Structure 1
Amino acid sequence: MIAIWKYHKIPVLFFIASCILYLWFAYSITRLQTAQLLILYVALFVFAYKIIKSSGFNFRLLVVFSIIFRLLFLFAIPNLSQDFYRFIWDGQMILSGLNPYLSTPDFQMEQGILTNFPNQVELHNGMGSLSASHFTNYPPINQLCFVLANLFPGTSILSSVIGLRLIIIAADIGTLYFGKKLLERLKLPSNKIFWYILNPFIIIELTGNLHFEGVMIFFLVWSLYVLHIGKWKWAAVIMAFSISVKLIPLMLLPLFFGYFKKDVKFKEPDAINGELSKSKVTVNNLLKLIVFYAITGLTSILLFIPFFSMEFITNYTKTVGLWFGNFEFNASIYYLTRSIGYAITGYNEIAIIGKILPIISILIILGFTFFKQNDSIAKLISSMLLVLTLYLFLSTTVHPWYIATLVFFSVFTNYKYPLVWSIVIVLSYLAYSNTENSENLWIIALEYTIVFSVFIWEVFSKKSQLSKLASN
């Protein structure tokens, strides 16, 4: 301990200051206290930067800091999100022998109070009317996490919160482990992982607010690492686990086409008919791609089977579809197109725009699949980052925790705009500063002006650098 203080005074001082701010953030701040929220958030980013830089990227020291920061939140009830009430509710539904996909909380409350369902009324009231009136959209591995959290000793809401938090902290430690190993495999500095692990946004949104993007990212990086070392069948299984936490990785699956066809070669012209014939490597790799997709799909289906019914399919697809056609929050391009729709028709055209924007997203994914060389893990991650970014730019709803995956992918690239976005996205919480929870579009415009500016500058500056290298 004395040696740590002797050689690392500055990072330790910033660590202590950060601990105080995190405790303040976890146990005192509400999302209505916007001024304090913004000041603490920005201060934590400054301190995190100072800790990383002044420590000389001392790996062990930073690992200890990152774990302690998370443990500070252990006994805190989330103060910026109420989603955790629904997580606990779904877990209790399963433990009560009920399928959480077949009834809404509102319907369940109409059936009466269950004796083996702790805190049923409090959970229903806490999750809010929007969540309570809709079917759950959380995939099966996520549901398993909810069940495990409710098995944590105790019957209070806090005991379940502690269970949820321990799972997310364990996932972050797993991400640290496999993220470091993958960076080393890619011959990148392993300490880059701390731009994710020590990022205050990640700590607050995942550990603090209990969002399971962290668990999804853990399985995702594990899958990419296993794929990189050649165990592609296991990579497919683990990828299915990632999808079964959050569905987002589904949209990234087409990008693997370029990775599996990376060894495509052609033989010399056939001596008899002069035609080119594909090598066996091409056929083998395409077969691998098909098997990879098959294993991922089959594993995902098997994970859903315990909940399967025709009613489940109807409820689940309907709920997922609502995110494109009904909900809107912190959007960018969608808000611009919505304003144009208002000017032309006088109405909110989300029903139409919400169908067009996903089609554009699909075209973007296909473009990156067939016209981008994703022939290495590094290039694959870069494409994943850009595809997911453009998808979020086109989305009708962008809650802060949605960009956690972008922050993670940025660690493996030279792009910094996800880190900038992780700072300015706190502005979206200003929508909760009024009783109507209405957004100030000028604030949203400020957020996206900053993000778009950095994004465009980075993307086009890198293209110009590559063209210069090509010309030389």
Structure 2
Amino acid sequence: MQLWKLYKVPLLLTIVSLILYWFFAYDLIRTEYSKLITLYSLLWLLFVLILKYSKHNIQLLAGVALLFRVIFILAIPNLSQDFYRFIWDGRMILQGFNPYLYTPESFITAQEFPIAQAQDLYKGMGQLNGSHFSNYPPINQLCFVIASLFSNSSILNSVVVLRILIIAADFGTFFFGKRLLQEFNIPVKHIFWYVLNPFIIIELTGNLHFEGVMIFFLVWSLFLLHSGKWKWAAVVFALSISVKLIPLLFLPLLFKYFKKPFAKGIDLKKLISFYAIVGTTTILLFAPFFSSEFINNYTQTVALWFNNFEFNASIYYIIRELGYLFRGYNEIAIIGKILSVIVFLIVIGLAIFNKRKTTKALIINMLLGLTCYLLLSTTIHPWYIATLLILSVFTNYKYPLVWSFIVILSYLAYINLNKADKSENLWIIAIEYVVVYGVLIWELFIKKRVKQE
């Protein structure tokens, strides 16, 4: 009763949120757009209110964040099909197959079923996913194997194991993120913009996207780097790359981070050693799968994201329309390559012209570099915003937080699935990016000027 008297409002908000999360997990179909938007918006409202009334009670907020995740424990993901491929890859490895050398489609077409529930898994992942080689790095594959070790014949049980791994990673991020915030003299409560965010709970715990595991290793690596333990930081950074490749984008930004003690200039020996440890560790992790065929399959599969796939893009869609206007067809293969080069040049520019050599300055450059990458990409799935969101926690920028709310509109792209025209609704995407660009421009170019005036 004492607890209820002290925390009546946040506890009531938590109970209502738990009910809404239950409906989201067990009573929502992806194409129920009104229900999807309504539930998500209400959860966001409650999330903001919970933070308002409990912002100084770290233990209570951490407990609430755990409860919200536990609600999903027995739920089959309803907004993504990717987990079927995760289970497929894990079971294939246990059967002695290299998942980078075979497509699920090749077995199903030949009427061969090398793993339990092969047909169900292929049907679940869909033809598009099943027709490509795996592009998930080795630590990601290890998570899939762990799920298969604990459950090699039940899809639901495999889902439960995968979900436990992601929840554990989220609280690892909470632990190291909290310590990093303390090092920066930033209020610890800021970590809950990530840990308690409905976007993170739904996309990572709910839909089983392993950005959460990659983010855990990334934040851990940043903490080690800030603590001066750069060799271990390099090893952990390689683990992050070996979950998702996106941290590769951040490597050039470390160019000026390693400064000589008691002198000006860059400590090239330490910098090169850091890169060498990251490279060697990553190669060793990929080594069990290595072959010339693996290299060919993997590079071609990764290239698809730049040269073939398109979803929820912004700048690319504008350029694509210009291509249609002047060329008469989709120039994605050319546009994708050009945009990739532009992103690379921007990241190099951020690395070269960075004057401050602090961990916080490094994180800000990571945030800006990743922002440019996402805004120039041909494919932006909602869960890609997760990395942007965690980086923003350590800065004063809030546009990733706004994006984590408005990105739910991208799911309305599926509104045309049952129609003759299955293309995305560009008006909906336009609304999403008008909001995102509006907040971004305000924070980067207008806010400081207004304050100065």
* TMscore range, shorter length: over 0.9
Q: Unmatched 5+ residue regions in structure 2?
A: none
- Quote the residue 2:65 is aligned against: 66
Q: Among residues 189, 194, 205, which one is paired with 2:192 in the alignment?
A: 194
What does 1:212-361 align with in structure 2 at a 5 Å threshold? 212-261=210-259, 265=263, 282=265, 285-361=267-343
User: 1:355–1:14: structure 2 CA closer, same or farther, 3 Å change rule?
Assistant: same
Aligned partner of residue 259 in structure 1, secondary structure:
coil
CA displacement, residues 149-187 of structure 1 (integer Å, 9 cap, x when unaligned): 112246210000001100000000100000001111111
Q: Shift of residue 118 of structure 1?
A: 1.3
Alpha-carbon contact 1:255-1:374 (below 8 Å) kept = no
- Paired amino acid for 1:322: L
What does 1:422-441 align with in structure 2 at a 5 Å threshold? 422-436=404-418, 437-441=422-426
Alpha-carbon contact 2:55-2:189 (below 8 Å) kept = no
Q: Among residues 151, 160, 163, which one is paired with 1:162 in the alignment?
A: 160
Q: Shift of residue 57 of structure 1?
A: 2.6
Q: Distance in 1 between matches of 2:447 and 2:300?
A: 41
Q: CA RMSD in A?
A: 1.5
- Paired amino acid for 2:62: V
- Paired amino acid for 1:367: G
- Quote the residue 2:386 is aligned against: 404
- Quote the residue 1:445 is aligned against: 430
Q: Distance in 2 between matches of 1:313 and 1:113?
A: 25
Structure 1-normalised TM-score?
Answer: 0.93
- Quote the residue 2:440 is aligned against: 455
CA displacement, residues 35-70 of structure 1 (integer Å, 9 cap, x when unaligned): 000000010000000001111431000010000100
CA displacement, residues 419-453 of structure 1 (integer Å, 9 cap, x when unaligned): 10011100000011232553100000000000000
- Quote the residue 1:148 is aligned against: 146
Q: Distance in 2 between matches of 1:78 and 1:218?
A: 22
Q: Shift of residue 112 of structure 1?
A: 3.7
Q: Distance in 2 between matches of 1:344 and 1:169?
A: 49
Alpha-carbon contact 2:416-2:424 (below 8 Å) kept = no
What does 1:121-132 align with in structure 2 at a 5 Å threshold? 121-132=119-130
- Quote the residue 1:54 is aligned against: 53
Alpha-carbon contact 1:374-1:383 (below 8 Å) kept = no
User: 1:252–1:331: structure 2 CA closer, same or farther, 3 Å change rule?
Assistant: same
Alpha-carbon contact 1:262-1:375 (below 8 Å) kept = no
Structure 2-normalised TM-score?
Answer: 0.97
Q: Distance in 1 between matches of 2:93 and 2:81?
A: 20
Aligned partner of residue 206 in structure 1, secondary structure:
helix
Alpha-carbon contact 2:69-2:167 (below 8 Å) kept = yes
User: 1:114–1:130: structure 2 CA closer, same or farther, 3 Å change rule?
Assistant: closer
User: 1:262–1:344: structure 2 CA closer, same or farther, 3 Å change rule?
Assistant: farther
Aligned partner of residue 457 in structure 1, secondary structure:
helix
Aligned partner of residue 134 in structure 2, secondary structure:
coil
Q: Distance in 2 between matches of 1:99 and 1:66?
A: 37
- Quote the residue 1:275 is aligned against: none
Larger C-alpha radius of gyration, 1 or 2? 1
Alpha-carbon contact 2:217-2:239 (below 8 Å) kept = yes
- Quote the residue 2:86 is aligned against: 87
What does 1:369-384 align with in structure 2 at a 5 Å threshold? 369-384=351-366
Q: Distance in 1 between matches of 2:140 and 2:110?
A: 26
User: 1:154–1:72: structure 2 CA closer, same or farther, 3 Å change rule?
Assistant: farther
Q: Distance in 2 between matches of 1:264 and 1:357?
A: 40
Alpha-carbon contact 1:237-1:299 (below 8 Å) kept = yes
Alpha-carbon contact 1:32-1:434 (below 8 Å) kept = no
Q: Distance in 2 between matches of 1:67 and 1:154?
A: 27
Alpha-carbon contact 1:256-1:374 (below 8 Å) kept = no
Alpha-carbon contact 1:325-1:350 (below 8 Å) kept = yes
- Quote the residue 1:270 is aligned against: none
Identity %: 60
- 2:121 pairs with 1:136: no
Q: Distance in 1 between matches of 2:152 and 2:333?
A: 45
